[in-house]
Amino acid sequence: MIAPAKQILSAFTASIPTSIFGPERIRYTIENINKLQVEHKLILFQLMNHILESMIEQQASDVEIGGYGTQGQVWFRVFGNKERVLDLPQFTEDEATLLIVNLLNPNQCAILLNEKNIDFSYSFKYEKTQTVFRFRADAYYDLDCLTLNMRSIQAAVRPVESLGFHPLAVKTMSHSYIKFGLSLVTGITGSGKSTTLDAIIDYHNDFDPCHIVIIGSPIEYVHKSRKSIIKHREVGRDVLSFKDGVIQSLRQDPDIIVIGEMRDPATIMAALEVTDTGHKVFSTLHTSSAVESIDRIIAEVDPHEQERVKNRLADVLISVVSQKLVPSLDGKRALAKEVLIVTPSVRAAIKNNNTSEIYLMINQGGPQGMVTMEQDLMRLYTEKKISKESAIAYANNKTRILQLMKAV
């Protein structure tokens, strides 16, 4: 299968006129890919699936294909480390472009040409286990070349119990306990936010007879309705934007609205407004601590709106989970998290611009289900799951983690 696929790639790319340079070569590929025979397109799909099968077998979380930066090779991220994959074929920039474009439909190709980027999802059946695997994909330009990242989406949802939350924290996030409010899951890219969010959705799906609307870019794990009825709306395919999805959801009789990411002021304002109407909302941010998450939301909106947003956020925010995946001693990764439960004291601190005091409240809030990132890193360290160096490296507050270590 690899040899025929390489022949198809080579033959097509050889037909690209040498007078065409840079991004116009991508446009040429998009405009002429339909000249390929259907059988040849299927062979290219098989080659991509072969790469993804190798990714699954090596327990990689991400794959990189194409673009100047890959230097013609396929790269995997295995337990946090990016590595060249030497037993997979190499691709020229034009070959990689064809392989990537073959995954897209005409509408997606048009978006790619216009915006230089497209998020989409991809799935295939892994024959060895007869399991359907899904991937979150992002195609974009790298020095006038097309490149692709694909991230593996867990084939099964982790139970909430396995994430190590205090029972009171889980209770706070439960729709059956608090019917409204905003709960955030935050962290840098690749910190497991989607895994945690899916675990929370699945937790409700086991016992809560409610309607859950998920708005994602793209939709990652697809939940099957059990006790809950769950709808999936992918941005760019089922709805035009996060903001539109949030506003439209009000006419869809939801109980819980899951917003894949609060990535712009319009989405933030829409999320706060829909929470104000008495719905329970879960979303994510790319921030590394609870305090930073609060400050980021307020700072994202126009200055003349910040006072109103600050007070509204204080009224609707229920909890913030900020997490990191830390290299573990067994060569894998361990989940470290900071958990903020919004108490009256926290609410007052937000309204009075005293967010710097919230860290101390989290530090002293253990009985209420709270934990700082430093406290959780210390737990992993004392349980001999991570090294001292990793605990220090991943701490938000280096002074505090060193104080905790001295106290041991």
CATH number for the domain harbouring residue 381: 3.40.50.300
Looking at the structure, do residues 124 and 167 belong to the same domain, yes or no? Answer: no
Task: From 122, 153, 184, give the residue that closes a domain.
Answer: 153
Which tens digits make up the pLDDT trace of 159-199? Answer: 999 999 999 999 999 999 999 999 999 999 889 899 999 99
Indicate which CATH number applies to the domain containing 62: 3.30.450.90
What residue numbers bound the domain in which 57 lies? 2-153
| Number of domains, the chain | 2
* Burial of 229: CB neighbours in 10 Å, binned 0-12, 13-18, 19+: middle
> Which contiguous run of DSSP H or E holds residue 280?
strand 280-285
Strands 145-153 and 60-66 turn out to be antiparallel
46: pLDDT strictly greater than 80: yes
282 with 367, same domain: the answer is yes
Do 201 and 307 fall within a single domain? yes
Rounded Cα distance between 303 and 312, Å, is 15
DSSP state, residue 134: E
* pTM for this prediction: 0.80
Interval 4-40: pLDDT, tens: 999 999 999 999 999 998 899 999 999 999 999 999 9
CB-based contacts of 275, cutoff 8 Å, min separation 6: 180, 181, 182, 281, 316
Same domain, 28 and 131: yes
Q: Does one domain contain both 194 and 68?
A: no
Paired tokens of 334: 């361990």
Q: Would you say how long the chain is, in residues?
A: 408
pLDDT greater than 90 at residue 263 = no
For 76-97, write each residue's pLDDT tens digit. Answer: 999 888 999 999 999 999 999 9
Whether the per-residue pLDDT at 113 is higher than 80: the answer is: yes
Mean pLDDT, rounded, for 244-254: 92
Of 127 and 352, more confident: 352
Q: Please check whether residues 241 and 257 belong to one and the same domain.
A: yes
Are 210 and 279 contained in the same domain? yes
Confidence at residue 128, expressed as pLDDT on a 0 to 100 scale: 86
Does 294 lie in the same domain as 230?
Answer: yes
Residues 141 and 167 in one domain: no
Tell me, yes or no, whether 122 and 263 share the same domain: no
The pLDDT assigned to 79 comes to 87
The string over 125-160, giving b where at least 16 C-beta atoms fall within 10 Å of a residue's C-beta and e elsewhere, is eeeeeeeebbbbbebbbeeebbbbbbbbbbeebeeb
Last residue of a domain, one of 96, 127, 153: 153
Predicted local distance difference test score (pLDDT) of residue 121: 87
Last residue of a domain, one of 123, 153, 183: 153
Percent of the chain with pLDDT over 90: 80
* pLDDT exceeds 90 at position 154: no
Whether residues 90 and 196 fall in one domain: no
> Which pair of tokens denotes residue 367?
């009985």
Confidence of residue 332 (pLDDT cuts 50, 70, 90): confident
Q: Which residues pair with 148 in a beta bridge?
A: 65, 139
> Does residue 146 register a pLDDT over 80?
yes
237 and 95 assigned to the same domain: no
pLDDT over 80 (residue 1):
no
